[in-house]
Amino acid sequence: MKTTYKFLIGGLIIFAVLAAISFQGIQEMTVFFHTPAEILKTPDEFQDKTIRIGALVQAGSVKWDAKTLELSFNVTEDSQQFIPVSYQGVKPDMFREGQGVVVEGKMQGEIFQAQQLLVKHSEEYKIESKEHQDKKEYYKTLSDS
Amino acid sequence: MRENKKETPLMMRWTKILEPISIISLLGCGIWIFMGTPIETEMGFSQKIMYLHVPTVIVTYLAFFVVFAFSIAYLWKRDMMFDQVAKSSAEVGLIFCGLVLVTGAIWGKPTWGTYWVWDARLTTTLLLFLIFAGYFLLRAFATDREREARLASVLGIIGFLDIPIIHKSVEWWRTLHQPTTLLKVNEAGEAKPAMPMDLLLPLLVTMLAMLLFYGYLLFLRIQMEERYHVLQETIVKKEGA
């Protein structure tokens, strides 16, 4: 009987810890990123904390210096409220104006200093450009680069 | 012990038919994908891995659905044959689930810029893999066969419930992974794939070929399982005599 209780209590403790960890994990997981509107609403709450912002790259806001690897752009949802982002590192191939991105980093004052830049891709697939239609030529450009 | 022997020749015939058909059609799809299908505009060449990633997802879903259905059937009828099917399908499903994670990571690097993120879609998929890895640990530790089948059936049913969560994760939560393409609901409220026919058709055909391949692997694995138990019974009988 005593061992049963021991197992029961031990089991309950393990279960409680797991539940607490997973509850935290789920909260973090479900809010994978914040939107610019959420951050601009209560900017003080997000200061100097590592967070992710998910939004679109505002058209006309991208500045890229290939020599110093400095990239800056605004992220926005409605192109009215936006947050300026500064990032140093390689610009991803899929990075474009109007593209969905997720940036990880810290709000420092008005500017978001990003440590990681992830590009979202849309669920819509397209075949538009005619230049890639000639597959032989296209595959050649791949092996060259 | 049971009359499995009657069913075996039929299954063997199906395995023999499915083996060449599935392998040749998969090879054919591979050639078609690289030589025939157009290059997608946004992602370019890396989009080709979609033809492997999406069919493996479909097979994973189906394989674990088979585990779910046959686990319920086992708990209801207590026929070992059902447990053998569930076990075989779980094994194939686990391998395909691993492939989903690997192909997803390979695709993630060029498009997102990372192999892995802890977003809801990826995390719940990893959870599915871990649940069914645990399913085999559970089977390995169980000593008697009835008990093994009973416990595994319960875990198989619970484990499957992760799949609707995986499927809905991109709608319920904010994720890096994009929402569904094949069942995308347009403005008119009807589900229509957000993909031109030139990309969709090869995807659907590859999916079909992959499903045939799953059928082949499943039938082969069930036969192995049957033979293993027939052999064990024979050994037990001989030792007893």
Question: What does the pLDDT look like over B200-227, one tens digit per residue?
Answer: 999 999 999 999 999 999 999 999 998 9
Distance to chain A for B181, nearest Cα, Å: 5
Best B42, B162, B171, B203 member to test A by mutation, with max A CBs in 10 Å, is B42
Give yes or no for residue B98 having a pLDDT over 90: yes
Contact A85, A65 (CB under 8 A): no
Q: What is the C-alpha R_g of chain B?
A: 20
Tell me whether B172 touches chain A (CB under 8 Å): yes
- When pLDDT is cut at 50, 70 and 90, the band that residue B148 belongs to is very high
Distances (CA, A) of A140 to B32, B34, B111: 18, 13, 21
Q: What is the pLDDT of residues A20-52, one digit of tens each?
A: 877 777 766 677 899 998 888 888 888 888 899
Give yes or no for residue B1 having a pLDDT over 50: no
At residue A108, φ and ψ (nearest 5 deg) are -120, 100
Above 0.90 for ipTM, yes or no? no
Q: What is the mean pLDDT of residues B55-81?
A: 97
Q: What is the mean pLDDT of residues A131-142?
A: 66
Give the side-chain half-sphere CA count within 13 A for A128.
Answer: 6
> Could you give the CA distance from residue A12 to residue B155 in angstroms, rounded to a whole number?
20
Residue A141: closest CA among chain B residues belongs to which residue?
Answer: B45
Write down the pLDDT at residue A133: 60
Domain of B188? 4-240
Tell me whether B189 touches chain A (CB under 8 Å): no
Nearest residue, CB atoms, A119 vs list B38, B47, B113:
B113
> Could you give the CA distance from residue B85 to residue B25 in angstroms, rounded to a whole number?
25
CA angle A101, A24, A44 (to 5 degrees): 60
Listed in sequence order, the DSSP H helices in chain B are 8-35, 50-77, 80-112, 120-141, 145-160, 162-172, 197-240
Domain count, chain B: 1
CB atoms within 10 A of CB A25: 12
Best B34, B47, B119, B172 member to test A by mutation, with max A CBs in 10 Å, is B119
Nearest residue, CB atoms, A118 vs list B44, B172, B176:
B176
- β-strands A111-119, A82-88 pairing: parallel
Q: Do B113 and A94 touch (CB under 8 A)?
A: yes
